[in-house]
Amino acid sequence: MWIVYKTIVIKEILRFSRIWVQTIFPSIITTLLYLLIFGGLMGERIGLMQGVNYVHFIIPGVILMTVITNSYTNTMFALFLAKFNHSIEEILVSPAPYWIVLLGYISSGVARGFVVGMGVYLTASFFMDFEIYSVSITLVIFLLTAVLFSLAGFINAVFAKSFSDVYVVPNFVLMPMTYLGGMFYSVEILPEFWQSVSLLNPIYYMIDSFRLGFLGVSDADLTTSLSMLLTTIAILFVVSLYLLKKGFNIKN
């Protein structure tokens, strides 16, 4: 069991390491741009947000966005490519239990989120001083977010039949949800109607709690965020496992 899990995780980690230029650099460059624009150029004018320096305020959101996109795209491509070149058959002919296979894919997504998220964090801390308010909250929120989006990427790959299907969700769903999820602002500054709309966006809770871990400031309640994350993970896990067992779009 452990061997099967290890095999999948190592294989997938090697896969994204082989293309590390594509996986790590874009996120680092984005971070540098954010630091330059919001830190150097506009930060002064915006002033404080929730009592925090603006550039500090956005960094947790930038890191979490990196984690979200990397975890998501990692599992999505891992499974999509395995379907595309049929190497998924190597696993399907073997007695590897499906839940182990799923855990393997999730773990590699989490690993990718961690590596790139860490890269962004280190880049940011190179240019400014950071003192993490609570390492444990930060890590827990990171982990849950990475697991959640690895699962979501997995489900996306199950349904994807062509390369264009692979880009729809990241660009038309994830990006807007992250940008509108309070990455750049506290929802306090929004009109009341948009505040309540934001509360329906799950990414809002993740960014908010992640910021709590980092800076000690937040809008929402940590328990609400945690239970929301855990419930979503549980649902997505069951759905993924079901799809994998049925061989949806794979064994028909």
Structure tokens at 167: 């880009």
Q: Closest separation between CB of residue 104 and other proteins, Å?
A: 10
Q: Pick between residue 47 and residue 95 the one whose CB is nearest to other proteins.
A: 95
Q: Which amino acid is at 97?
A: P
Q: Pick between residue 92 and residue 199 the one whose CB is nearest to other proteins.
A: 92
Q: Closest separation between CB of residue 168 and other proteins, Å?
A: 22
Alpha carbon distance 209, 120 (integer Å): 18
Q: Output the CA–CA distances (angstroms, integers) from residue 95 to 1, 89, 91, 101, 107, in the order listed.
A: 10, 12, 8, 10, 20
Q: Pick between residue 85 and residue 223 the one whose CB is nearest to other proteins.
A: 85
Q: Pick between residue 62 and residue 243 the one whose CB is nearest to other proteins.
A: 243
Q: Pick between residue 112 and residue 211 the one whose CB is nearest to other proteins.
A: 112
Q: Does residue 104 contact residue 4 with C-beta atoms inside 8 Å?
A: yes
Q: Closest separation between CB of residue 235 and other proteins, Å?
A: 24
Q: Closest separation between CB of residue 96 and other proteins, Å?
A: 5
Q: Closest separation between CB of residue 91 and other proteins, Å?
A: 6
Contact residues toward other proteins (CB under 8 A) are 1, 3-4, 6-8, 11, 14-15, 18, 81-82, 85-87, 89-97, 246-247, 251-252
Beta strands in the chain (DSSP E): 48-49, 52-53
Question: Helix, strand or coil for residue 53?
Answer: strand
Q: Which helix (H) or strand (E) holds 190?
A: none
Q: Which amino acid is at 23?
A: T
- In degrees rounded to 5, what are phi and psi of residue 210? -65, -40
DSSP 8-state secondary structure symbol assigned to residue 87: T
